[in-house]
């Protein structure tokens, strides 16, 4: 008998997953009439990548999701690759008889029958019923650049100053900008990035938005997010970088030197992330979510009926760091509604011969930990399963590095580059490190020093209760406080019904 989805091995309990089959990038994230829409790259015919559709789910709180039928299916122009969605509030497109409605903008991917070369062109679809049904525009594709082969993942925003829609596209090794009065006819306005940032892989999935700088009243900066694809030369696989700068409605200028590389997430499993459009001004948040996998091994992860999850949604902000304006990420407050019960400790002293154990805790955990190094060289937390597997999250003070070690985290043999220990630079904050972690059945998300450094990793440990151990190496450390919140499953209503 088919088990309910919330009972399946490794099925995340508070992260978005498709009910069945393959998922990759989040697409078309938009808020409209009380509903957050999440579309996603979806292959309904199997658990590996294939002919791409847009899967669809809606939520009122970004935590509990209702699955809807696939929104867009391949057609005579090809597969439906990644893209975005906007609310056309003033019917600039003329598709909504004077009212408002949703427009999705995406890449049609096929093979040119004349040249047999890959062809990527931009198209649109619209919905007259709050995203339940979609009509492909009869004039598709709406944007063609014959010379550019990798030309995809349109992100569209309304640019208030120029009173134009702006589309940013990934074009192999740079980003291209177009504008439009009506979402249907597009004109090229500029390009960015040929010699900026990381070019370790092909550029994909851009996003573009303006944010206020915290603590600097009136100061705003633009952020351009660019994901970069997997490349065999780089063990990190697919990753997401960002740029901080200005956008004048036509092109982006980088505030940092071209060689500066800024990562959204230093973990291995946060790719193709973008932000929601049209979140009301009263809310004002810029909310980001990524695909929690990596093209290096995404097709091989050890799940059976479905493959891949999304990260938890995160609020993006800018802060003024010594080195310049930088992005910080914080978990959305809505996640606090999942808290069930709390354990709290303070003033714990750990030493090599005296680790601290939480005893048995559940599997769905939010952990907040603050420590001072004293004379320890390394301090961290081990998530231990009953099978002796352990995932380490720690700080190496000599190297000023935060790390995740998933070498012995559970099932790792499905791909030779999955098992790894990897690091991110992190400075002490007033002599302390604070870690905010979310642990689900098959993932670890670490927000360090109030979201200045973030690491997201998949792990596949044995199911059942876990134990948390705090440890120190080569000296003692002071754990200022440790809070463990036991989290509810987003399927708890379904579980109680079936009892
Ligand atoms: C990124 C990506 C996109 C593309 C989609 C295809 O993960 O390669 O560039 O549109 O996936 O599924």
User: In the chain, where are the structural domains located?
Assistant: 20-333, 339-487
Q: Is pLDDT at 497 greater than 80 in this prediction?
A: no
Cα–Cα distance between 95 and 183 in angstroms, integer? 10
The helix/strand/coil state of 14 is coil
**Model pLDDT for residues 71-99, shown as the tens digit of each residue:** 999 999 999 999 999 999 999 999 999 99
How far apart, in Å, are the Cα atoms of 498 and each of 1, 36, 184, 490? 15, 28, 48, 15
Q: How far is the CA of 42 from the centre of ligand 1 (A)?
A: 11
Going from the Cα of 41 to the center of ligand 1, the distance in angstroms, rounded, reads: 8
Q: How many CB atoms lie within 10 A of CB 304?
A: 12
Q: Is the CB of 277 under 6 A from ligand 1?
A: no
CA distance 414 to 417: 9
The whole-angstrom separation of Cα 203 and Cα 150 is 9
Contact 402, 380 (CB under 8 A): no
DSSP state letter for 312: P
CA distance 269 to 303: 16
Give yes or no for residue 467 having a pLDDT over 50: yes
The number of the ligand 1 atom at minimal distance from the alpha carbon of 202 is 9
CA 155–ligand 1 middle distance (angstroms): 13
Judge contact between 450 and 299, C-beta under 8 A. no
Whether 122 is in the pocket of ligand 1, judged by its Cβ within 6 Å, is no
Say if residue 2's pLDDT is above 70: no
Would you say how long the chain is, in residues?
A: 499
pLDDT digits (tens, 9 = 90+) for 97-132: 999 999 999 999 999 999 999 999 999 999 999 999
Give 124 Cα–ligand 1 centroid separation in angstroms. 17
User: Contact at 8 Å (CB) between 264 and 270?
Assistant: yes
What residues act catalytically? 25
Other Cβ atoms closer than 10 A to 310 = 25
pLDDT at 213 over 50: yes
CA 246 to chain centre: 23
Residue 493 reports pLDDT greater than 70: yes
Neighbours of 282 (CB within 10 A): 5
82 CB within 6 A, ligand 1:
yes
Report which protein residue has its CA nearest ligand 1's atom 8: 204
Residue with tokens 């030369």, as numbered in its chain: 233
Mean per-residue pLDDT, 46-51? 98
Q: Which of 54, 78, 81, 110 to mutate to test ligand 1, by most ligand atoms within 8 A of the CB atom?
A: 81
Q: How far is the CA of 153 from the centre of ligand 1 (A)?
A: 7
DSSP letter at 63 equals: S
Radius of gyration (Cα) for the chain, nearest Å? 23
Note whether 134 and 127 are within 8 A (CB). yes
Measured over the CA atoms of residue 50, residue 53, residue 59 and residue 61, the dihedral's sign is positive
φ and ψ at residue 256, rounded to 5 degrees:
-100, 170
Give the C-alpha separation, 29 to 40, whole Å.
9
Supply the residue whose CA is at minimum distance from atom 9 of ligand 1.
204
DSSP annotation of 431 reads: T
Distance, in Å, from the CA atom of 148 to the CA atom of 107, rounded to the nearest integer, reads: 13
Task: Quick: pLDDT tens for 286-308.
Answer: 999 999 999 999 999 999 999 99
Q: Which of 74, 169, 205, 271 for mutating ligand 1's site (highest number of atoms within 8 Å of CB)?
A: 205
Residue 496 pLDDT more than 90?
no
* Least reliable range by pLDDT among 4-13, 359-368, 371-380: 4-13
Ligand 1 center to 152 CA (angstroms): 8
Left if phi > 0, otherwise alpha if psi is -120 to 50, otherwise beta: which for 450?
left
What average pLDDT does the structure give for the chain?
96
Q: What is the number of the ligand 1 atom nearest to the C-alpha of 238?
A: 7
User: Which atom of ligand 1 is nearest to 153's Cα?
Assistant: 10
Using one digit for the tens of pLDDT, what is the confidence trace for 314-326?
999 999 988 899 9
CA distance linking residue 271 with residue 230, whole number of Å: 10
Helix (H, G, I), strand (E, B) or coil at 193: coil
pLDDT of residue 379: 98
Helix (H) or strand (E) holding 91: none
Please list, in sequence order, all residues whose beta carbon lies within 8 angstroms of the beta carbon of residue 449, skipping any fewer than 6 positions away.
426, 427, 429, 433, 434
> Residue 1: its pLDDT value, please?
45
Report pTM: 0.97
- pLDDT tens per residue, range 124-148: 999 999 999 999 999 999 999 999 9
What is the share, in percent, of the chain residues with pLDDT greater than 70? 99
Rounded to 5°, angle at Cα 345 from 340 and 351: 135
Which of the 8 DSSP states describes residue 354?
A: B
181 has pLDDT over 90: yes
Closest CA to 85 of 132, 37, 119: 37
Sign, CA torsion 152/156/162/164: positive
- pLDDT tens, residue by residue, 307-351: 999 999 999 999 998 889 999 999 999 999 999 999 999 999 999
Is 272 a pocket residue for ligand 1 (Cβ < 6 Å)?
Answer: yes
Look up the CATH superfamily of 339-487: Exo-inulinase; domain 1 (2.60.120.560)
β-sheet bridge partners, residue 168: 155, 177
Class of domain 20-333: mainly beta
Task: Using most ligand atoms within 8 A of CB, pick from 24, 120, 238 the residue to mutate for ligand 1.
Answer: 24
Helix, strand, or coil (residue 301):
coil
Ligand 1 atom nearest the C-alpha of 49 is: 12
Residue with tokens 């040249």: 115
What is the CA(147)–ligand 1 centre distance, in A? 19
Query: Residue for token digits 């799940």?
Result: 303
d(CA 206, CA 208): 7
Place of tokens 């980001």: 288
Q: How far apart are CA 288 and CA 179, in angstroms?
A: 24
């Amino acid at each position: 008998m088919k088990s309910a989805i919330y009972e399946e091995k490794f099925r995340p309990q508070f992260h978005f997953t498709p009910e069945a089959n393959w998922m990759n990038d989040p697409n078309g994230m938009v808020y409209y009439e009380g509903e957050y829409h999440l579309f996603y790259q979806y292959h309904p015919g199997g658990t590996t990548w294939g002919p791409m559709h847009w899967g669809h789910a809606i939520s009122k709180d970004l935590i509990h999701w209702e699955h809807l039928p696939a929104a867009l299916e391949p057609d005579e122009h090809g597969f439906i690759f990644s893209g975005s969605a906007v609310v056309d509030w003033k019917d600039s497109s003329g598709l909504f008889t004077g009212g408002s409605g949703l427009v999705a903008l995406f890449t049609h991917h096929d093979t040119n029958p004349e040249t047999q070369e890959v062809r990527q062109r931009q198209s649109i679809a619209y919905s007259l019923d709050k995203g339940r049904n979609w009509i492909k525009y009869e004039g598709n594709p709406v944007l063609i650049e014959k010379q550019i082969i990798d030309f995809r993942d349109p992100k569209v925003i309304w640019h208030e100053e120029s009173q134009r829609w702006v589309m940013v596209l990934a074009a192999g090794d740079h980003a291209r900008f177009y504008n439009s009065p009506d979402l249907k006819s597009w004109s090229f306005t500029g390009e960015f990035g040929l010699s900026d940032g990381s070019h370790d892989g092909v550029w994909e999935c851009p996003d573009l938005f303006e944010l206020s700088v915290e603590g600097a009243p009136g100061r705003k900066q633009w952020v351009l997010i660019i994901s970069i694809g997997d490349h065999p030369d780089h063990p990190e696989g697919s990753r997401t970088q960002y740029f901080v700068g200005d956008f004048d409605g036509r092109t982006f200028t980088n505030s940092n030197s071209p060689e500066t590389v800024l990562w959204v997430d230093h973990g291995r499993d946060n790719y193709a992330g973008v932000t929601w459009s049209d979140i009301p001004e009263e809310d004002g948040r810029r909310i980001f979510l990524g695909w929690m996998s990596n093209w290096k091994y995404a097709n091989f992860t050890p799940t059976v009926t479905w493959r891949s999850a999304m990260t938890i949604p995160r609020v993006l902000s800018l802060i003024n760091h010594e080195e310049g304006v930088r992005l910080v990420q914080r978990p959305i407050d809505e996640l606090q509604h999942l808290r069930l019960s709390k354990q709290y400790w303070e003033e714990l002293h750990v030493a090599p011969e005296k680790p601290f154990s939480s005893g048995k805790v559940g599997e769905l955990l939010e952990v907040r930990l603050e420590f001072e190094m004293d004379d320890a060289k390394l301090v961290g937390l081990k998530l231990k399963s009953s099978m002796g597997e352990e995932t380490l999250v720690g700080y190496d003070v000599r190297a000023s590095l935060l790390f995740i070690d998933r070498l012995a985290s559970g099932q790792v043999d499905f791909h030779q580059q999955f098992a790894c220990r990897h690091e991110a630079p992190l400075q002490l904050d007033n002599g302390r490190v604070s870690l905010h972690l979310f642990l689900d059945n098959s993932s670890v998300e670490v927000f360090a020093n109030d979201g200045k450094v973030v690491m997201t990793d998949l792990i596949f440990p044995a199911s059942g209760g876990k134990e948390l151990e705090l440890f120190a190496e080569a000296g003692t450390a002071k754990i200022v406080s440790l809070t463990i919140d036991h989290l509810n499953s987003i399927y708890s209503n379904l579980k109680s019904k079936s009892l």
